[in-house]
Structures are given as structure tokens and as C-alpha cells.
Structure 1
């Protein structure tokens, strides 16, 4: 079983999109967009509703405390990890879904998006990091791994150290960078699931993924 006690869930229904709180999620919440058990299944159709300030639909977890309160943190306080093992099961016509993030509280611009990008021509996908060096800079797009098939199981780890070193391991490849000090003091949080990067098409189009492992850790400095 994957522990859901550190997450809430956004599902693409309602206006704005509905958030399922942590206690309800831990209690076994399931619907047509999300199923839990030994694995977690996420489905976000292109026709789904959206959260405030978003242009695309998502079925995505957001970091919380066990009581349901949102959990935001500053990176200098701990070694911060998001670890996952998953398969990407379906992509929209754009070929793109976001599968993990470090977001910034009160901002529409995340520090990091980890995105799967499927190429119809090659019948496989790349794993790409979209990274903002500063809170106000445009994202750099970094290709981390290539040749990832649909329904192929792979792992990723996002690691942000107290000194601001960011490392992403995905599909047995690695990329790293150093945060600009302007991120110091910003309230950050992890997200994971399916954020479909498309909003046009039929209700059968969208992003889907199955997570076999999903875990957050904030290891405090001694």
C-alpha cells in the first residue's frame, strides 16, 4: 500500500476543480479519475475542469500534513526527497504529461516540473525537467532521459539539499543544478500524479499513469 497520509488530491470535476482532503483520501476515496490500493492510478482527460489559474486539467496529489493542512517547506531545513516508480499509460495528443513537481506556494510558477513527452514518430518518450533558476526566470528545459516506452515501468527521484543542490534521477539517468539563493525562504511543496498538458479533444483523450511507489521524505539536518 502507498501511504496517502501526506497528500491531498485534485480531481478535474467542478469549477474550480475539487480537492479531496487527506483524511478522506486515506479513508479509501476512489472515483473515475483516481484509484488507490497497492498502486495509484491517475486519469486526467483533456475535457476535465481545472484548478484556479491553470489552463490544463489534472488529477494530482499535493503535499499535506496528516490532518489535511497543506505542508509547505523551505529547502534549507532538510534533505528533501520525492521518490516514485510508475508507468505512463496514456498521453493526450500533445504527448505531454507532468508526473512530478516542486511547486512554490502562492505562485503559478513551479521551481521544477518533471514531464513525460511522447513522440509519435519514435513511439517512445523523453523525460524532461523544466527548471527555474530563480523564482522569476523562464524555465530551462533539460532532457534527462530518452526512449521511455508507454507502459514501461521506471523510477524517478527528486532531491533538493539544504544547500540548494537539486538532483533528478529518472529512468537511470541523472541531471543536477544549483538553485539561485533567491529561492531561499520560498515556501515549497511536492506534487505528483498526472497533470495533462492539453485541453482540447474528446473526453477519451488525456493523460493516465500508474504509480507503484510514491514517497516523500524531509530528512532534518543533525
Structure 2
């Protein structure tokens, strides 16, 4: 992918924050596998892939809580810490067995980085799991920082997560875009006064068109053009034009 000089000028020194699961990487196969493994260990039935796919994106504890509830055995608060720890161990052991970047991710990130954009991951996944996944699928090289839920003042939908991610790369919220796939991405971005760019191929229970993002794209390769549009329009609004 090549960008024009004019496009690069807009992107230079901007900050683009990316959600991870369902935005950069199709992680559902390994998350579903890890969840069904722990359900089996607890004597519970496996859940259908499509059902679990919609549960992804709020962190390990939330996924377990929703998964156990769907399997007919609500997660006991006293057992939750041990089961979360076990789930993380299972998942880490298979973190990229079936997971892979979505089509166009590598080429697009390379073009954005070459243009001088500051790239950061802003995810409700734990940071060490995020880094392990990014390493496994060879995406770490594109990012200036990874800010997981445990490294943020509070996780998405809290706006402080987005603001912490932008700050981690020395960025300016007035020149930033949040790219994601879920309502948490939209809520956190909007509250941080950062435009939300949504992808249509991610993980969300509600139709992505209803989430209130500023723009919606169907292909990851559309990120540069969409981000430029948002950066340009937001810049004009903030300057009073």
C-alpha cells in the first residue's frame, strides 16, 4: 500500500489507537477454544463458536462470566480468580494457534508507520497477553506502545484508557483516532473527545451500524483514508472553520 504525499502530511504525528481482538487480529478461534477447554474441565457443555464470538472484547473475567452463564452455571465469585488464572494459562498456551491478523492489516500498518503516524494498541486484554499475541503474529514491530486494561487507570469504556494510550506515545487527543469494533470503543473514544472509526468485521452483539461510530469501514485497508477524513474534519471543527 502506498500513500500520497498529501495523505502522509495529514497522518504525520497523528495518533491512531487500535483495539486488538476483532480489529487487528481475528482471535475468536483461540478464545473460543480456551473457553470451551475450561468449561469441559468444569464438566460443562461447549458453547457454539458464534455465541462466544459475540462475548469477546471485555477482558478475560467478563468472557468467563458470560461463558459460564451461557453454559448454565453462573460463575461463583469465590472461584472466579482461580478460573480466570486457569483460563489465561490455557489461552496463553494456544494464543495464536488459529488467530491471525485480518486481511490488509500488515500492509496498512506499515503504510501508516511509514507516514509518521504514532500507532498504539488500546485493548481490554491484559498487556502481557496482548504483547504475546502481537509477537506471535508479528505485529509488535508496528506499535510504539501497547496499553492493556491492567496498564490503564480504568478499562474501556472509560475514556481514561484511550487517553492513556494516546499519552503513552506522546500523542495529542486533538490529533487522534480510535479504531475499534465495539460499543466500548465508541463510548471510550467519544468521552475522550476522540473520533471513533469502526470496522464491520469485528466482535459485537449489536449491529455495528447502530453503535454510533463516526465512520464505518468494511476493509482494514480503508483505515488511512478514513482516519485522514476524521482528522481533517475534527481539525476544522476545533479551529472553528
Is TM more than 0.5 here? Answer: no
TM bracket, shorter-chain basis: under 0.3
TM-score (norm 2): 0.25
Structure with greater Cα Rg: 2
TM-score (norm 1): 0.26
Q: From the two aligned structures, give the one with the greater helix fraction.
A: 2
Higher relative contact order (CA 8 A, sep 6+): 1
Q: From the two aligned structures, give the one with the greater strand fraction.
A: 1
